[in-house]
Amino acid sequence: MDSDRSTETRVADLLGRMTLREKAGQMVGLHVGSFSVLQREDPRTTTVEDAKDAIRDHFVGSATPFGTGFSPYNTAVVAGRVANQLQRVAVNETRLGIPLLIPVDAIHGHAHIEGATVFPHNLAMAATWNPDLVERAARITAIEMAATGANQNYAPTADVAREPRWGRTYETYGESSPLVEEFVAAETRGLQGASLDGPTSVAATVKHYPASSEPTRGEDTAPVDISMGTLRRVFLPPFERAIDEGVAAVMPMYNAIGNEPAHASNFYLTDLLRERLGFEGVTCSDWLGVWMLAERHQTAASFTEAVEQVTTAGLDVASVGGVQHAETLCELVESGQLSESLLDRSVRRILTLKFELGLFEDPYVSPRSAIIDVGSDEHRRVSREAARESVTLLQNNDETLPLADVDDLFVTGPNADSLDNLLGGWTVFGFDENEGSTVRDGLEHVVDDGTTVTYEPGVSSGELTDRDAVASRAEHADATVAVLGEPWYLHEFGPESLRGENGGFPQRNSLELPPAQRALLDVVTATETPTVLVLVTGRPLILTDVLDQVDAVVVAFFPGLEGGRAIADVLVGNTNPSGRLPITFPRAMGDFPVRHDWLPHPSPLGMDEHLPSYDPLFEFGFGLSYTEFAYDALEVSDETIVDGNAVTVSVTVTNSGDHTGTETVQLFGEHRYSSVVTPVRELKGFSKVTLSAGETQTVTMTLTADDLRVVKPDGTRSLESGTYELFVGDLNRELTIE
């Protein structure tokens, strides 16, 4: 308890005092609420009193009483009180008084708490191409978490979105590993602050290690089958970057990789993660990850065998293992099947994190902090800024947008008046409508006084409704805004009991708009009234067949609590759109996989006889503005680069249009030749610049020799001499690697 001593000394002292049961307790967590929505065999609800008993009697070291979709305690003040109750039991009613880790799922803000600031989801944040904004959002998330007593976040998500059919695409920062790296690093810094023991710092947990986002069939948690070279080139860099930033915890994926479940893999949890990547923190299971070894992967004959497997592999905390997992650990040690030294290894890491968080000095929270900090006006302003920067303009025929001289504006579609569908999953469902604005609300707020906004939903329960009313309103309007796309969902597009029925959408088999939404679009466009399609979605959808019908297309990837107002501001021109796609929009389902960093390959019949390898509807990095930008004078500070050095890449950007606007300058590169096959187009840098009409500015980016290394089949990286070509817009320059 002497805070003047080193953490290492304090951990050693405490560990030396602990019994086997106390050690086992520290390695498990529990939740408050019910898993019945997941159809688990045991639907029993865990109460706060159950949690207190588990802490007293089994020394459980981690508890999640709120901040999930399964807990009833999701108001800010109540959450803080519950956290304090559980901490008091841990500190005052157990022999050693070890405080609790209290993790939450704060994926895009502390969004499982009513009234909290809900930011755009990660895919939308990536569309801002603004890591500084993500760091600010993460700092706010940490402040609001700490105000409710939470001290660990199951974020950031470091998955690289390589499979758009996957239902968790919106949780990612897109398809480019370098882009994901920058955002993961920013989120880690924001959550953990300058020091973990700061009063508003929380432990970040990077997930889902090492490569959950390219599952077979696009099916959530299905096996991942990739090479070591692809693992090291595409999927591991964001995790490595998080480790470099000092991330406190790592969560393995549910999936098997190379036929080996990540939760039970000594190679992935120990050899690769700790010995090669240098991670020294805590590993935490995904929620039912241990149980799934026996019940789903079938690599363990029993729950007992599953516990033995994960402990041997290097898993430190079974996040919702509860009393059963703790008792099983004790039985395995007492029977000689498991060495107590393995428990010591994990407990040492867990205690280190608790000391570093300052929990032994003060684990409690003032309920007044929640009243002041959670959902404050200042925090909401940052959310609105993020939403505005994330909205992306994909089509604007005949300058339909911004809407001008519109006396009668018709708004329709299943997402036009739904706040839940703007928020997306990992959010309190049924969020208080007064806490945010829908697209309909936003437009009613921002249009000119002389403009009338009329509304018909058009689609209900997956069916086209009120066809005549929709047609009549569209025909008499000056413009129609159709807000279509996906509803609120989690994981594999559920639970349907919450998100409702939307004509079989979303799903994995088709990314086209569902029949009812297509029919609605047919009705409104048949009137020949200018039509703007606003797409609210968690992943790229296939719009090939509808582009010719509509005059403009705007996409918002679950833009959060301020999303309705942000979309409205873009539509009327209060905001010049600056979002750029962090993920490719394909032309057809048969194009999958379609990625900007595709690998070159032979064409036995000649190039003219092969379809293009990358010919998307909207490419990675694409986005329009209400102004125009021109590039000139791409220069490199040195014609050659050697190991350990760096060069500066500069380009002149001019706003050649009539409005102030923000451009994202994107630097891509390609090895002309190398010993292994490398992508034809990899993102190597980016920078945002805001320019007034007619203004010119030189943008510079730094390129290091490490950025140019190639990944060998065994996963090692090396710098190879040769020609490297750089691209910015239509400009290109060569760089020689020596």
Please count the other Cβ atoms lying within 10 Å of the Cβ belonging to residue 638: 12
CA pseudo-torsion sign 491, 494, 499, 501: positive
Q: Are 589 and 437 in contact (CB under 8 A)?
A: no
Q: Are 105 and 340 in contact (CB under 8 A)?
A: no
Chain-centroid distance of CA 243 in Å reads 17
Cα three-residue angle 46-51-53, rounded to 5 degrees = 120
> Which amino acid appears at position 16 of this protein?
G
Q: Quote the CA–CA distance of 233 and 181 in Å, as a whole number.
A: 12
Q: Quote the CA–CA distance of 443 and 420 in Å, as a whole number.
A: 17
- Closest listed residue to residue 67, CA positions, set 158, 145, 155: 145
- Pair of tokens at residue 181: 């790296």
Task: Indicate the SS3 state at residue 250.
Answer: strand
> Which amino acid appears at position 177 of this protein?
S
- Closest listed residue to residue 62, CA positions, set 490, 357, 367: 357
Backbone angles phi, psi at 690, to 5 degrees: -105, 125
DSSP H/E element including 629 = strand 629-636
Q: Quote the CA–CA distance of 631 and 698 in Å, as a whole number.
A: 10
Cα–Cα distances in angstroms (integers) from residue 311 to residues 29, 289, 330, 465, in the given order = 15, 12, 12, 55
Q: Are 67 and 141 in contact (CB under 8 A)?
A: no
Chain-centroid distance of CA 457 in Å reads 30
Task: Indicate the SS3 state at residue 87.
Answer: helix
Q: Quote the CA–CA distance of 395 and 553 in Å, as a whole number.
A: 5
Q: Which residues pair with 77 in a beta bridge?
A: none
Which entry of 159, 220, 286, 569 is annotated as an active-site residue? 286
DSSP H/E element including 17 = helix 7-17
Q: Quote the CA–CA distance of 249 and 350 in Å, as a whole number.
A: 10
The one-character DSSP state at 630 is E
Q: Which residues pair with 649 in a beta bridge?
A: 636, 701
Q: Quote the CA–CA distance of 519 and 480 in Å, as a whole number.
A: 15
Concerning whether 405 is annotated as a catalytic residue, the answer is: no
- Pair of tokens at residue 391: 């909205």
- Pair of tokens at residue 533: 């399609």
DSSP characters over 179-213: HHHHHHHHHHHHHH-S-TTSTT--EEEEEEETTTT
Active site residues: 286
